[in-house]
Chain A
Amino acid sequence: MITLNGIVKRYGSQEVLRGVTMSVARGEVCVLLGPSGGGKSTLLRTINGLETFDEGSIDVSGTQLIGGDIVSREAALLKIRRKVGMVFQQFNLFPHRTVLENVIEAPMQVLKQSREQAVGKAKELLARVGMLEKSNARPTSLSGGQQQRVAIARTLAMQPEAILFDEPTSALDPNTTAEVISVMQDLAKGGQGMIVVTHGMKFARSVAHTVHILHSGAIIESGPPEQVFDNPRQEITRGFLMEAN
């Protein structure tokens, strides 16, 4: 469903992505692991166009982004972003809207759903992430974990084929991390495709189909979690796993 082909991104003379090639199938749960500064978040953000890239190409269900091309980019991005949602480290809920309004905003404005339709779907999704009773609360009155669960519901409301999770639990304390992880595990088991940048090995081990280890802007090792975690082929992977545990 998502194919990355030789993605190169430079900041001046420094290459932060050095020819990344990977693909993610429909319904696949894919986890990006690796030391900080390895380019995980940057790679994730190139997929839905929050970052540009200089070489290579990205294909999302037939819609293409070409490195360095800024002319046809806007139209392609609108298509891609309808298929690929994103959940941020800092939640980025809209503070001037209630929880429910946050969830129905895009379905009504972008998908032109009626209010009843959008609200019905939103309530179902908020119930699924355990936030229904906070429907009328302001985001700023919620804990970090609650905000992140609302953010997940907001993304789900657009019915994306895949969701990009950019370190979704890094801003959370351990208790609330568990709430969010459990929501994500439920989604994964329900067949929701996702690409997750995380430091949480447990999550990767329990639900990931594929794990990629990213180091210095390149994927150095890929495979099912049991293979990568139990029999790492690369020295760097071994060192990283030792430190992470």
Chain B
Amino acid sequence: MRQFLSLLLGLSIGIILDVSAFGQDDSLRAIQSKGALVWGADQEGGGPFVFPDENDPNKLVGFEVELAELIASHIGVPAQFAQGQWDKLPDLLDRGDIDIVLNGFEWNSGRAERYGTSIPYYIYELQLLARKDDESIQSWDDLITQPAGQPRKMSLLGGAAAEDFTAAFAAEHNTTIELALFDGVTDAMRAAELGTDRIDGNVQDLPIWNFYRKDFPNLKPVGPPVGRGFYVALLRKSDRQLLDSVNEAINAGLRDGRLRTIFERYGMWNEVQALRALETSADGGFRGLVKAEESNGTRTAESGSETNATNTPELSSSQSLHGLKVITQRGWFLVKAAMMTVLLSITAMPLAVLIGLLMALMKLYGKWFVSIPATCYVELVRGTPLILQLYVIYFLVPEVLKYLFPGTHFSISAFWSAVAGLAINYSAYEAEIYRAGLQSIPKGQMEAALSLGMTRNLALRRIIIPQATRIVIPPVTNDFIALFKDTAVCSVITVVELSKEYYIQARNTGAIVELGLLSAFLYLAMSYPLSLLAGRLERRLGKESR
């Protein structure tokens, strides 16, 4: 036994040493020894980058799939795909889950500072999109105007260059443009097409728009493409040898025309590609051949043409911040977002309890044509996830209403969609809690009330429901705390609450730990008083009725 233990100890020390050796050394050798280049991308709404093959959904296609194979074969290993949510791919890189990110990440100085960035493999431009029936948007300059007295609102992929470009455009023209940030490009375009939540339009990478345009027949491109920039591969900063190999592979592909063949296959080739920069400078930026083209009307959001460009907002805020400094500088954002979390919870929960009580009453005391729909509602809502319900409310309900009442423009704001989603989702659980509570009231209570001449409704209202409410307070409070934490899911429909704001700030500053601790503290500071209150209520009501 002792021998076995020491063997185990020796082995584990060996593993630890081995790992730390990998950590210091370049990943290139590790990749060659494990025999695969693990590359990360998001296949959700991923065309033409990475997406499931129409004919064989098990197979992934896309120009980045072929690019990954091109790079991997240069290193001498097969490419292995790893799925990740787009804006979280750099984190997967930091965690060591993947070796390289190939997913339309735009070069910018902030990224170049934190990650190893390859030479560009594609030059993209941004396209402004608006609804075909919206005459008020004919050019970028129309975004400066505020026809309804409200700022224009654009849907965007969170963390992408389109966000920086649009924000910079608004700042440059001293106007406000509201940004609704989505996790997926197709969601952002759909929201623009439907006009959900007052969204006027969308700013999209041109290749993405070209790929998906047939799916969004009511969107039109507005003006010429703008904001030229570069897609680059992201690597860990320490992986210099790997970066060299990746650059060699891209260069070779450019020279012998293989990259052009790939891009042509996806309808992405254009003359602009000929302008591509081929050299990477020592500081992680690159010396581009692209001229800033303000003269002929197109804008460059951020390009390598001006080396060491330092005038963009992204750069000034992406200096790594740590310790108390990041807390004092960014803490307020988290506190404000925590207010949103509270507001969502205290608006949604009373609604959930009310709907739940109604459903429980319908189930228990209604005739069959009342109780059966209530049962169906509870089972349907309880059996589907919150995230799906939020999507349906946010995207589908406006579409259905548009279909039912043609000509009217209907939209639900993200906030009220979130409140409705949370309320509906939790109402199913509250219904079951209330059902159990109502059933636990002895039959004699109803009989006594009826015998005193009360109607059934009066007896329920005055005698049965008040008693059931006392019984359900502890489980309902539990659910309130759960709902409170589930507000984080609402970020999928662009509500920025505490978790989302944490992610935005952490990504922006790199202070994952400090801001994470602050967020955890804020959640605890909000939910712990609730637990205390629940305990007190439970004790007080317990004393009253027993």
Binding site for B on A (CB under 8 A): 48-50, 77-78, 81-82, 85-86, 88, 90, 92-96, 105-106, 109-111, 138, 140, 151, 154-155, 158
Contacts and interface: CB of A to CB of B under 8 A. Distances in A.
A95 B444 contact: no
A88 B467 contact: no
Contacts of A111: 453
B462 A109 contact: yes
Contact of B451 (A48, A96, A138, A140): A48
Contacts of B450: 49-50, 77, 81
A8 B86 CA distance: 75
Contacts of B545: 95-96, 138, 140
Chain B interface size band reads: 20 to 34
A94 B465 CA distance: 12
A155 B449 CA distance: 10
Contact of B453 (A81, A92, A93, A151): A81
21 contacts: A48-B451, A50-B447, A50-B451, A77-B450, A81-B450, A82-B453, A86-B447, A86-B448, A88-B447, A92-B444, A92-B445, A94-B463, A95-B546, A96-B467, A105-B452, A109-B458, A110-B454, A110-B458, A138-B544, A154-B452, A155-B451
Given A109-B458, A138-B544, A140-B546, A94 B453 contact: no
B470 interface: yes
B445 A94 contact: yes
A94 B544 contact: no
A188 B30 CA distance: 99
A77 B451 CA distance: 9
Given A96-B545, A138-B544, A140-B546, A81 B466 contact: no
Interface string B435-466: 00000001011011111111100100011001
Contact of B452 (A50, A140, A158): A158
Which of A49, A81, A111 has the most chain B CB atoms closer than 10 A to its own CB? A81
Contacts, number: 67
A61 B117 CA distance: 95
Contact of B444 (A48, A85, A88, A155): A88
Nearest to B441: A95
B458 to A, nearest CB: 6
B455 A78 contact: yes
A110 B470 CA distance: 24
Nearest to A83: B453
B167 to A, nearest CB: 57
B440 to A, nearest CB: 12
Nearest to B545: A95
Contacts of A140: 545-546
A109 B451 contact: no
8 interchain residue pairs of minimum CB distance: A92-B448, A106-B452, A92-B444, A86-B451, A110-B453, A82-B453, A95-B545, A81-B453
Contacts of A90: 442, 444
Nearest to A138: B544
B458 A92 contact: no
A81 B544 contact: no
Contacts of A81: 450-453
Contacts of B448: 86, 88, 92-94, 151
Contacts of A86: 447-448, 451
Given A106-B452, A106-B453, A96 B444 contact: no
Which of B447, B448, B466, B545 has the most chain A CB atoms closer than 10 A to its own CB? B448
